[in-house]
Amino acid sequence: MKRRYQPGEVELKWQALWSGKDIYRSAPDARPKFYCLEMFPYPSGKIHMGHVRNYAIGDVIARYKRMRGFNVLHPMGWDAFGLPAENAAIKEGVHPARWTHDNIAYMKKQLIRLGLSYDWGREVATCDPAYYRWNQWFFLKMFEKGLAYRKASFVNWCPSCATVLANEQVIDGSCWRCESVVVQKELEQWFLRITAYEEELLAALDGQMDGQKLSGWPEKVLLMQKNWIGRSEGLEIAFPVEGSHDEIPVFTTRADTLFGAKFICLAPKHPVAEKFFAADRGALEKISEHYGKMEEKQGLFTGHYVINPVNGERLPVYVANFVLMEYGTGAIMSVPAHDQRDFEFAQLYGLPLKVVIRPEAASGLPTDSLLRAFEDDGVLVDSGPFSGLASEEARRRIAEYIEAKGSGRRVINYRLRDWGVSRQRYWGTPIPIIYCERCGIVPVPEKDLPVVLPEDVKFTGKGGSPLVLAEDFINVDCPGCGGRARRETDTMDTFVDSSWYYVRYCSGGDEPALDKANISYYMPADQYVGGVEHAVLHLLYSRFFMRVIRDLGFTSISEPFQRLLTQGMVCMETIRCPEHGWLYPSEVENERCTRCGRTVERGRTEKMSKSKRNTVDPDQLIKTYGADTARLFSLFAAPPERDLEWSEKGVEGVYRFLQRIFTFVYDNLEMLTGPGAAVPAAPVIAAAPQGPPGEKTPPLIRKTHQTIMRVTRDIEREYHFNTAIAAMMELVNAITALAPEGREGDAWQLRFAVEKMLLLLAPFCPHLAQELWEAIGMASDIQLESWPGYAEDAAREEQIELVVQVNGKVRAKIMVPQGLTDEDIKARALSEPRIKETLTGKDIKNVFAVKGKLVNIVAR
């Protein structure tokens, strides 16, 4: 019976059967668990190829681990709060809730259509009050512990989104979401005190926490987080202000340059600066306007001086726009000779400089002709008693001196700032705070949670958050005094939602959200898969939240994600028409634009994006080739952590591969299921059928064992799915090569190879594997079968090809039996006629043998 591979038919059939059976449901039991987690998507409307790749990777891992006997938790949900929903409301008049739920419904269908093995019973949507109630609960707990606080500060303001952004959300001075230029604005904001954990967050990155190292994280991500937290050791030095009792503390990592300090700079917001300019606020404000702008340095002399505690030198005090209030003490000592920024500032305002560090080798630095600052370590000069010391030693000695003198202390500073979570937006978690004229800031009592986002609001797109106008929402009685009060109208940054969703998944939908037993069974996630774009944002916040959850007594775990796999981007070639700009592939015919007929330019391969029109629609892809092909190609084209170049031709290649398996099985069904297909010997799963007694392992059986070995090893070793798939392709080539009809004697070998092949294929292409599993007469669910084992003995070749080199060049290849000693193979190599020939007239200097498979003869 001939049957053609119709992926749609096969896949829908099994998806229908699986949906009723709930076979991917997990619950704590005695087995070892494996928590396989992929970053949940924002329900933007449709999934894109990046999702397909991300979830295909996760699904193979989950299915593989399941077959290896783990109790796999593999959940999925929706990062459902966020701006696009609100923008859609403004533009199209759809309510964000409606828009979001519609998108979720559609995207869920798409994920199901991909055949992903999720436990849908644990699905969460962060916009669900039952979910965000816990955002509020965490907020209250943090408020109680002083980890959530309110303060006025300069914030990153995106004028287009009309909201505040966290530092992590500003990319190159622009909004991470809409790319408009971010400006500084002063606002009252809620902050989460992530800095309370800065030391610990950093220590774990260095592997300094016992048992909870992040050894399974890419080095690159660890480094990015390390730099983000930015620890630096230094000295805080107090400079007394001349003619007053004030002191200005500054932070420096270069105490060795202290004798070279020529002036002091204050941040515009520095309290001392405000004091100095109490009478002339205008001048200060002018500088403030340029605060944080990097284009140009601006300064303003305060008219005051401080005294350098180390040598009594009188130093002028400036206010400078480039000095950050948020870092260190908000004031710096400026050493123009040894800091490029100070150098530039000094040039600008005609300030002097003084060289106090000399490179070790060179004779000296000409003071008057410095072209730029000398920032390296060196030897101190003109530094009183410290002259002649090397920088490193000098830093220690000067620090000791300053501390002894009572003028300062050694401190450690971090670049990391507290996390500003207030957003002037509607579609997010309401911050559970009430402002009372009498009682001040009052947290919403726990029993009143959740503070539900009112649905009945107006979306105008103007004048900030719609909540500001929602009278019923705003006006409340104060929980303290019962008097009139109003609610906080800001909502939380959506990164709060995603900072703990993986903990929520540990308990089923109808179980309590935070259940200690569930958390301790499933956490931490054994494998997390997602894009690198979250290397600092989401991953750092989550590490912070996990520690908060730990300190609330739910678990002893600090690190939420044991292993992290950051998959590369999905890219595709771009095409441009000189007249019409970016083109879809369908707009090109014979290298010409279908609209104007001009020759198109094939551009570089770039990340798929709608604006560049180099996208592939998963729906279309699945319609044409099926989910199994879509999954398989995503995994075959490149190793997971690398960027993947999409290629229609490549997809076809993978499709052909599946088709070949399918037709082979159906074309040979009788042989595969007939009496001759009974495997002789005792083929326990892990054992090797050696063939009929007395015979050697038949080649196909050996190839099968080799393939199982390779696929297993490739998956275990860093998830190299691309090479695992290549190995399976080789096996299929071997199977079909042995196919000619009539060779009934080989039936049992084919049967054996096909069975194992389907098991190997099951995590990658679950539908096809199941279909053919059934076809060859298996009644079971292939997903519930065990991963096949292999026998090293059966995998080993009996004959090996011995490579013989003379002076490092291959001169002969001879077949020899497996397992010869080095002496044996050397002898064989030397007696080979072709080798003798090349060696005539030469003296053999040395002979090397490598692992019984290569001989190198050194001869002159």
Partner RNA sequence: GCGAGAGUGGCGGAACUGGCAGACGCGCUGGACUUAGGAUCCAGUGGGGCAACCUGUAGGGGUUCAAAUCCCCUCUCUCGCACCA
Minimum distance of RNA from residue 429's CB (angstroms): 25
Minimum distance of RNA from residue 243's CB (angstroms): 25
Interface positions, 395-424, toward RNA (CB under 7 A)? 413, 415
Q: Assess 254 for contact with RNA (CB under 7 A).
A: yes
Q: Assess 772 for contact with RNA (CB under 7 A).
A: no
**Which residues of 508-556 form beta strands (DSSP E)?**
525-531
Q: Among the candidate windows 45-53, 95-103, 764-772, 798-806, which touches RNA by CB under 7 A? A: 798-806
Interface positions, 225-244, toward RNA (CB under 7 A)? 227-228, 230, 232, 234
Minimum distance of RNA from residue 366's CB (angstroms): 22
Nearer to RNA, 57 or 433 (CB): 57
Please select the residue that binds RNA; options are 29, 92, 210, 219, rule is CB under 7 A. 219
Q: Assess 220 for contact with RNA (CB under 7 A).
A: yes
User: Is 835 in contact with 852 (CB distance < 8 Å)?
Assistant: no
User: Is 67 in contact with 124 (CB distance < 8 Å)?
Assistant: no
Q: Where are the alpha helices (DSSP H) in 738-789?
A: 747-761, 766-775
Backbone angles phi, psi at 11, to 5 degrees: -70, -45
Please select the residue that binds RNA; options are 28, 216, 271, 650, rule is CB under 7 A. 650
Q: Among the candidate windows 36-44, 119-127, 432-440, 803-811, which touches RNA by CB under 7 A? A: 803-811
Q: Assess 587 for contact with RNA (CB under 7 A).
A: no
Nearer to RNA, 141 or 293 (CB): 293
Interface positions, 513-552, toward RNA (CB under 7 A)? 532, 535-536
How many angstroms separate the CA atoms of 287 and 157, rounded? 19
Minimum distance of RNA from residue 85's CB (angstroms): 25
Q: Among the candidate windows 104-112, 198-206, 743-751, 852-860, which touches RNA by CB under 7 A? A: 852-860
How many angstroms separate the CA atoms of 544 and 197, rounded? 7
Write out the DSSP string of 264-313.
EEE-TT-HHHHHHTTT-HHHHHHHHHTTT--S---EEEEEEEEE-TTT--
How many angstroms separate the CA atoms of 616 and 628, rounded? 16
Please select the residue that binds RNA; options are 286, 396, 660, 826, rule is CB under 7 A. 660
Please select the residue that binds RNA; options are 123, 199, 393, 730, rule is CB under 7 A. 730
Interface positions, 160-189, toward RNA (CB under 7 A)? 167, 171-172
Cα end-to-end distance, the chain, whole Å? 66
Q: Identify the CA nearest to 493 among candidates 228, 178, 164.
A: 164
Q: Identify the CA nearest to 430 among candidates 439, 421, 420, 438.
A: 421
Q: Which amino acid is at 709?
A: M
Nearer to RNA, 224 or 679 (CB): 224
Q: Assess 508 for contact with RNA (CB under 7 A).
A: no
Q: How far is CA 205 from CA 278, 538, 543, 549, 558, in A?
A: 45, 16, 11, 19, 12
Nearer to RNA, 266 or 453 (CB): 266
How many angstroms separate the CA atoms of 755 and 761, rounded? 10
Q: Identify the CA nearest to 6 among candidates 815, 655, 742, 702.
A: 655
Q: Assess 856 for contact with RNA (CB under 7 A).
A: yes
Nearer to RNA, 429 or 614 (CB): 614
Q: Assess 249 for contact with RNA (CB under 7 A).
A: no
Q: Assess 639 for contact with RNA (CB under 7 A).
A: yes
What does the radius of gyration of the chain's CA atoms come to, in whole angstroms?
Answer: 34
Residue carrying the six token digits 């992590």: 168
Distance of CA 132 to the CA centre of its chain: 24
Please select the residue that binds RNA; options are 333, 337, 627, 735, rule is CB under 7 A. 333
Q: Assess 472 for contact with RNA (CB under 7 A).
A: no
Q: Which amino acid is at 264?
A: I
Interface positions, 258-277, toward RNA (CB under 7 A)? 267
Q: Assess 736 for contact with RNA (CB under 7 A).
A: yes
Strands 475-477 and 581-583: unpaired
- Indicate the Cα dihedral angle 505, 507, 512, 517, nearest 10°: -130
DSSP 498: G
Q: Assess 656 for contact with RNA (CB under 7 A).
A: yes
- x-marked contacts with RNA along 599-618 as a string, rule CB under 7 A: --------------------
Taken as a whole, the chain contains a residue count of 860
DSSP 806: E
| Residues in binding contact with RNA, number by CB under 7 A | 86
How many angstroms separate the CA atoms of 373 and 309, rounded? 23
Q: Assess 722 for contact with RNA (CB under 7 A).
A: yes
Please select the residue that binds RNA; options are 55, 70, 322, 625, rule is CB under 7 A. 322
Structure token pair of residue 125 = 């949507």
Interface positions, 334-353, toward RNA (CB under 7 A)? 339, 341
Please select the residue that binds RNA; options are 2, 458, 462, 649, rule is CB under 7 A. 649
How many angstroms separate the CA atoms of 677 and 670, rounded? 9
Structure token pair of residue 6 = 């119709």
DSSP 475: E
Please select the residue that binds RNA; options are 29, 809, 833, 841, rule is CB under 7 A. 809
Structure token pair of residue 675 = 């009496």
Minimum distance of RNA from residue 410's CB (angstroms): 12
Q: Among the candidate windows 100-108, 150-158, 276-284, 720-728, which touches RNA by CB under 7 A? A: 720-728
Q: Assess 100 for contact with RNA (CB under 7 A).
A: no
Nearer to RNA, 189 or 566 (CB): 566
Q: Among the candidate windows 92-100, 155-163, 190-198, 843-851, which touches RNA by CB under 7 A? A: 843-851
- x-marked contacts with RNA along 349-388 as a string, rule CB under 7 A: ----------------------------------------
Helix, strand or coil for residue 585? Answer: helix
Residue carrying the six token digits 């309110």: 150
Q: Among the candidate windows 122-130, 238-246, 464-472, 805-813, which touches RNA by CB under 7 A? A: 805-813
Q: Assess 324 for contact with RNA (CB under 7 A).
A: yes
